[in-house]
Chains A and B, each alone.
Chain A
Amino acid sequence: MEDNQNSAPGSVPSGKLGGARKTADPGQNAAKRLQTELMMLMTSPAPGVSAFPSADGNLLSWRATIEGPDDTPYAGLTFKLSFEFPSNYPYAAPTVLFTTPIYHPNVDFSGRICLDILKDKWTAAYNIQTVLLSLQSLLGEPNNASPLNGEAAELWDKDPTLFKTKVMDRHKDVEED
């Protein structure tokens, strides 16, 4: 609002001076940023991943889709995720969950994900697309050192066939409506 009403000729937008930008409602900033991210996602989509705000129109809650990468046990499967953004996003990480059941060493049975960039390694430089791409690569390269699903971590190396079977057993398309 300020910028428009102060746009006296030659004046600097007030954001630069008074730090009004900083005092603005944090939720607003997050929403703006998410809107921008959405635009970026839409104009330059990455293959195999997509995301969109949830149907209720809440910008702080998104749904995303990851296609299992080829040459991984997840090839041909699609996984749904939910993103919940804090109001100070991007200064804090979003909460990301798999809503599609997935058998994976770093994902537990309620969909929680063990991924450093979603925890302590988060920086504001990450965005939804990078998170989705990281998750996509996590499907192919699990971090078996710190598994949430010990059995999966074990099977990943020992018995890829059984692993694949378990993946297919666990996977279930969630039909929302």
Chain B
Amino acid sequence: MSAATAASPWKNRRRRIFQSVFQTDVSGPATSYTHHDPFAFGSGAATATSDQQVIYDGAWHTVTARISLPPSATAEELFETLAPDSQQQSSSGEDVEFNQALDLLVHAPTVLPWATPRTDDIMAWHAQQVRAHFSHHVIPILTACVGEQQQQQQQQGDRNEPNMVVVMTSIKTLQAALGLYSHGLGLLMRGLSPAAASDSSTSSSGGAVGEAELVEARFRRDIHALVAISASEGLMASLRIVLVRLIGTVLGIPSADGGQRTGESQRPTARARPVPPTENDFLALAARRRLHELVEQLYNVGLAGERFQVLFAEIMDWMMSNFVSGAYGGVWAAASDARTFAAATDTISRNPAALSSTSPCILSLSDWIENHFARLSVEVLSRLSPSSSSPPVTLSDVKTYQSLALGRLAALRIAELFDIALAWPSSRGALDDLRATITTAPRRQQLTASFSRALQARLLHPGCSTLDILHTYIAIIHTLHALDHSKVMLGHVEPSLQLYLCQREDAIRIVVAGLLASPDEVRAARKATEAFKRQGERRQKDGDAGSSSRWKRAEGSGAALFATPAARSGRSTRTPGTRRLREATPESGSQSRTTTPRGDRDRDRPSAGPTKLVELALLLNDPSQTRRAQPADDEGLDWDDMSWVPDPVDAGANYKRPKSEDVIGTLISALGSEDVFIKEFTAVIAERLLGDPNRFDQELRLLELLKQRFGEAALQNCDVMIKDVLDSRRLDTVIRRMRQLQDHGRFEQQQQQQQQQQAPLMRTPAGPMAAYNNNNNRKKDEAEVAETQYHACILSRLFWPALDHEHFLLPPPIVDKQKQYEKAYKSLKSGRKLTWLNQLGQTRVELELRDRTVTVDCSTAEATVIYAFHDADAGEDAPPARRSADELYNQLQMDEDLIAAALSFWASKGVLRRAQQGEYVVAETLAAPGGGSWEQQQGTAGVPSDKNANNNNNNNNGKAPRRAGKTAGGGGGAGGGDAKEQERRAMYWQYIRGMLTNSSASMPLAQMAMMMKMLIADGFPWSNEELQEFLGEKIAGGEMEVVGGKYKLVKK
């Protein structure tokens, strides 16, 4: 055997050829042969070994040549070679040869005992081939198609189709490759199986067949692992998108790119709400079928491994969150909305009884979980493990899903809770959800913590007015009480609110004013509430009770809240941040301009007037709100109370179960201690009693109600105060009668009718007395001698809140009156002393001016100021009295601010007119009402009679010189309105000149407008454009110029 002698070099060469052909360095048999090589020369069996090895190698070559994979493959080739049949049809001769060779290899242990036979080798070699082929050819194809599609999708923008293409191409490629690989394997297996059959004589046939299956299964596992590991990120991303779309459609969740592809195509809104598809929703059915196919295909090519399952789980999780937040976010209606829950209603009856008492949201959510979510999970998971006998999703899994979904719903509601509270009472449905889902202590804690955060961020900041805070607080009390009757949650939330309210000095005043709201206001509020309810119903019927209406509500509130402060200019503290109360979204911002603010306020604030907490008055009269004092031993012993529940776990040690909602009680306790409230209440009551002592039914009623709350003793002061007022009325009558007897006819010269009331009295011998004057001036006939009527109200110092003593000099006639009153009082009640509180009185003043008589109810300070204009010595022709604030200051010793207030009060009544140098002049004549400026009228109409009540009775029918010159100047030519406008423009021009002279020589328009707005006390109504126009006129007139965008005055 020459071949044998030359075996070594030859075989080495052959091995090299082998390797070059198959591009593999795994050549098990050949390698092992070389190891044997040195042996071959040394042993007797060398020849046999060599021969057998040659035969073995030949067989090896035959087999490997047959099952080797195409060395280079493009996608097309891959698909072509794929056609499994074409390979089957290879010539029978080859087949036979192959089978023989394979046989030889498989049975090498027996047939060629010397040729280092290992059955595994051929399988391992094949696996290696497959791996190499996969990594060299298939993976590049996969990568290429993913990359290609990604490029396309970037260009096209449509995200679904390319992704679908990516997934499908990848699957096809993998299918082709796997077909190719299994073809080789199939050949091998065919060879192995007969071998096993022929083996059956020596070993049990079952064992051999089992081995073959084992080998094949191992190969499949390997190849699937290979595919799974090599799946690229791009492919998985595409797969995710495809799955999200399909699953979203199946579950009824609109995909992110709008609803037009999904079942909700009839909904035009971009923010379509998720709706579970009905049984015959064509699109959903198609998607479901498509999804099934896809999953099966994925499973077949090995892509349904762990990564796919993780992906699927993630998507399902995301879908659940999406569905919950999409379908229920902002849906708080208590009644089930006909459209949103239409799909759910027919299946509700099938729901577990445990949920029967819960809200529509929960019902429909459970239904969705059971009939859509869980169903889909079953369908997908069962396709992932078709062989497994146990169901992939058990009933307990479904329960877990449901509780998970309820958790999501709870989280959603918790996040929304602040808005829910604001929307009270139309948000009861949401509270039902919360009550049903907040079952554990951690969740309660989460709720209170999150709500407290929302409070801090949205309510408790300087931008919210106290009134807003109180409104919201009341809503919060309602809301949290509805959520948790035990009030423990409220207790957790309240502290920060209370702390903050304590910083608001006006809080108590607002509450008391709300409590004292008049019946009229209460009626109005009721009406508003009803209107609101009707509106709410209508809104619900309008469909889509979901997002759009919610946004509308939010917008409306924004507009309303802005409108309110704008109406009262100057309350700058309210304006800036009010909007933050509702989170302003771009949407609401843009739309609020188009909605009318009218009515929105009512909608937003159902039961409240804009300035008062009228709802408190409503609540005060609501019997269910009163705190019933129950004997302590009744607690928990009411065996018939079927709604009894144990105390919440997070209740404190001293927890006492409240019996009612008790908004007022909660509110009052939030404002500090009862003492503080009562003190403030007393102050307010005092104010009201002094203001209008004739009518205090409202106060009495409130007092009675508050007594039930706080007890008699706490409100004793108020009782005394009311008694004081009543007593002094009686006393006043007595004193007046005495006085009439004594000094009838002594005060003729006081035709001017002013009455001051001051009467103080002290019940205790030592102290000064609070006094209160009640002046009623009755108009008397001119001829008749008019007496200034003078009434006093006598207050018990100890029981009234501390009242400031404001010093000023009363007009002498009034002082006389006071003295008389004091004397009379002393004679009635010896040992007591009166201290007059001059500033607290009410006065009716009758002023006789030249052309008119003015009767005004005003404060004593105002009356005193106008009296100072009274000029007893003035002749009939004297010019109108003229005083400056400084003169008055010296004359009356009155506080400057009071003087200024009084002057502007009279100016607003048209009695005084501001003149040059801060002086005020009595407007003896007035234009006819409805006419133009009075100055003009004054110039034209002769005003014959002037009687100035201030100027006292002595000026009868005098003709005062007219300030004709001024009149002509002021009124010149223009109508009344124009004259006013002219005046205003002149004033603005002064401002502008002052600004440009002093502040800065040149300023841009915006800054000027800003300064004007800030500096002019009555507001600056012009827009920037109007100002620009005005400045334009001035520029045209040569008074100003523009330099570099800034305006400046032309230097003269």
Binding site for B on A (CB under 8 A): 1-2, 4-6, 8-12, 14, 16-19, 21, 32, 35-36, 38-46, 50-55, 57, 59, 62-65, 80, 90, 124-125, 175-177
Residue of B840, B917, B987, B993 near A16 (CB, 8 A) is B840
A8-B516, A18-B687, A43-B987 given; 14 more Cβ-contact pairs under 8 Å: A4-B571, A11-B691, A12-B687, A17-B690, A35-B1016, A35-B1017, A38-B994, A38-B1015, A39-B1016, A52-B995, A55-B1011, A59-B1014, A176-B1001, A177-B1000
Interface assignment of B937: CB less than 8 Å from any CB of chain A:
no
A6→B684 contact, CB < 8 A: yes
A10-B840 contact given A1-B573, A5-B513, A5-B611, CB 8 Å threshold: no
Q: Is the contact region of chain A dominated by helix, strand, or loop, or is it mixed? A: mixed
Interface status of B714 (Cβ within 8 A of chain A): no
Would you call B998 an interface residue if the criterion is a C-beta within 8 Å of the partner chain's C-beta atoms?
A: yes
CB <8 Å contact, B889 and A177: no
Contact between A52 and B900 (Cβ–Cβ < 8 Å)? no
Query: Contact partner of A44 among B568, B683, B688, B917, CB < 8 A?
Result: B917
Question: Once the chains are docked, how many angstroms separate the CA of A90 from the CA of B804?
Answer: 22
Partner of A17, one of B516, B683, B1001: B683
Contact B994 A42 (CB under 8 A): yes
| A5, A21, A32, A38 — most chain B CB neighbours (10 Å) | A5
The residue on B at minimum CB distance from A54 is: B999
Query: Which B464-515 residues sit within 8 Å CB-CB of chain A?
Result: 467, 506, 509-510, 513
B1003 touches A51 (CB 8 A): no
Q: How large is the interface on B (under 10, 10 to 19, 20 to 34, 35 or more residues)?
A: 35 or more
A124→B885 CA distance, assembly (Å): 12
Could you show 22 A-B contacts with beta carbons less than 8 Å apart?
A1-B506, A2-B506, A5-B506, A5-B509, A5-B510, A8-B518, A9-B518, A9-B692, A11-B688, A12-B691, A17-B801, A17-B803, A43-B990, A50-B998, A52-B995, A52-B999, A54-B999, A57-B1014, A63-B999, A64-B998, A125-B889, A125-B896
Nearest CB on A from B846, distance (A): 20
Q: Which of A4, A55, A90 contacts B568 (CB 8 A)?
A: A4
Shortest A68–chain B CB gap in Å is: 15
Cβ of B847 under 8 Å from chain A:
no
Cross-chain contact A55 with B1003 (CB below 8 angstroms) = yes
Main DSSP-derived SS at the B contact region:
helix
Separation of A16 and B691 alpha carbons in the complex (Å): 11
Q: Which residues from chain A contact B804 at a C-beta distance below 8 Å?
A: 16-19
**A41–B917 alpha-carbon span in the complex (Å):** 9
Residues of A within 8 A of B915 (CB): 44
B692, A55: Cβ atoms under 8 Å?
A: no
Contact of A57 among B690, B994, B1011 (CB under 8 A): B1011
B859 at the A interface (CB under 8 A): yes
**Cβ of B1001 to closest chain A Cβ, rounded Å:** 6
A5 touches B467 (CB 8 A): yes
CB distance from A136 to the nearest CB of B (A): 15
- CB <8 Å contact, A55 and B1000: yes
Inter-chain contact A52/B987, CB cutoff 8 Å: no
Residues of A within 8 A of B1010 (CB): 57
Chain A hits for B987, CB < 8 A: 42-43
Q: Does any Cβ of A come within 8 Å of B695's Cβ? A: yes
A14 in contact with B998 (CB, 8 Å)? no
Q: Is residue B914 contacting chain A, with contact meaning CB distance below 8 A?
A: yes
B818-839, CB under 8 A of A: which get 1 and which 0? 0000000000000000000001
Q: With CB as the reference atom, state the residue of chain A lying closest to B1010.
A: A57
Within 8 Å CB of A19, what residues of B? 804
Contact assessment for B686 and A17 in the assembled complex, using a CB-CB cutoff below 8 Å: yes
Residues of chain B within 8 A of A40, CB atoms compared? 918
Contact of A63 with B998 in the complex, beta carbons under 8 Å: yes
In the assembly, what is the distance between CA of A141 and CA of B156, in Å? 87
Query: Shortest beta-carbon distance, B398 to chain A, in Å?
Result: 56
On chain A, the residues within 8 Å of B1015 by CB distance are: 35, 38, 53, 59
Evaluate contact between A44 and B994: CB separation under 8 angstroms.
no
Question: Which chain B residues lie closer than 8 Å to A38 at the CB level?
Answer: 991, 994, 1015
Question: Using a CB-CB cutoff of 8 Å, which residues 970-1009 of chain B contact chain A?
Answer: 987, 990-991, 993-995, 997-1003, 1007
Q: Select B998's contact among A5, A17, A46, A65, beta carbons within 8 Å.
A: A65
Question: Beyond A43-B914, A44-B917, is A177–B1016 a contact (Cβ under 8 Å)?
Answer: no
User: Cα distance A101–B896 when bound, in Å?
Assistant: 36
A41 with B1001, Cβ < 8 A, contacts A17-B683, A18-B683 known: no
Shortest 8 CB-CB distances between A and B: which pairs? Answer: A10-B692, A52-B998, A63-B998, A55-B1000, A52-B994, A55-B999, A42-B990, A11-B691
Q: Which of B509, B889, B997, B1016 contacts A6, CB < 8 Å?
A: B509
